[in-house]
Amino acid sequence: MDLAPPGGDSSKVGHRIELGRDHFAIMFLEQKHHAMNRSALLAFLATNLMVSFFTVYYLVKVLRSRGYSSPAEPEAPGDQKN
């Protein structure tokens, strides 16, 4: 099976291996979830992984960051001090 992309550079072995891994991962998932076609599966996985990544990334940052120590105190109007 030719794993190089159409018109792709066949000398980029690493790229071919990566593509091959993805290819077999998709085939595996297609067999496991035979009802899903490849494009639907790709759209589902790509979107869900991206959204999950950013959600976890920012949530972990919030949990690891400094909290709010004391209540917000109002300042006089026009007071610009930091």
Partner 1 sequence: MNQPQDTWGTRIGLVLAMAGNAVGFGNFLRFPVQAMQHGGGSFLIPYLVCFFLMGIPLLLSEWAMGRWGGRFGYHHTPFIMGSLGQSPFWKYFGMFGLFINIAVAAYYCYIESWTLAYLWNSVQGTFMGKTPDQVARFFDDYVALGSVQPWFFWIFCVGINVFFLARGLRQGIERVALIGMPLLFLFGLLLAIRGVSLKAGEMGAIYPGTVGLNYLWTPDFSSIWRPEVWLAAAGQIFFTLSVGMGAVQCYASFVRANDDIALNAMSAGWMNEFVEVCLGGAIVIPITVGYVGIEGMQALLAKAGGIGLGFRTLPYLFTQWGPVLGLVGGVMWFSLLFFAGITSSLAMGAPLVRLLEESFQLKRTMAAACFGLIVLLLGVPIILGFNQGVFDEFDYWTGTVALVVFAFIESLLFAWIFGINRGWAEINRGAEIVVPRVFKFLLKYVTPLILLAILGTSMPEIYAKVTHAALYKELAQTTDAAEAASIRAVIHYRNLARLLLLGLLLGLMALLGWILRRQAATPARSATE
Asked if residue 31 binds partner 1 (CB under 8 A), the reply is no
For residues 1 and 72, which CB has a smaller minimum distance to partner 1 in the complex? 72
Euclidean distance between CA atoms 27 and 40, whole angstroms: 13
Q: How far is the CB of 52 from partner 1 (least distance, A)?
A: 6
Residue with the two structure tokens 């007071």: 79
Asked if residue 41 binds partner 1 (CB under 8 A), the reply is yes
Q: Footprint of partner 1 on this chain (CB under 8 A)?
A: 33-37, 39-44, 47-48, 51-52, 54-55, 57-59, 61-63, 65, 67-68, 70-77, 79, 82
